[in-house]
């Protein structure tokens, strides 16, 4: 999974509960998911 700017993820575009596990992966500086 490539670290992309927040709001631009290559994984399932999770507006659902799917962003919960993905959030841990994107827990990088400036790479957080917009929930």
What pLDDT is stored for residue 16 in this prediction?
55
What pLDDT is stored for residue 34 in this prediction?
57
Instruction: Tell me the two tokens of residue 13.
Output: 């575009």
User: pLDDT in tens for each of the 35 residues of the chain?
Assistant: 555 555 555 555 555 555 555 555 555 555 555 55
**How far is residue 28's CA from residue 16's CA, in Å, rounded to a whole number?**
21
**How far is residue 21's CA from residue 31's CA, in Å, rounded to a whole number?**
14
What pLDDT is stored for residue 28 in this prediction?
56
């Amino acid at each position: 999974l490539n670290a992309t700017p927040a709001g631009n993820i290559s994984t399932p575009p999770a507006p659902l509960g799917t962003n919960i596990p993905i959030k841990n992966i994107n827990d990088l500086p400036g790479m957080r998911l917009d929930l």
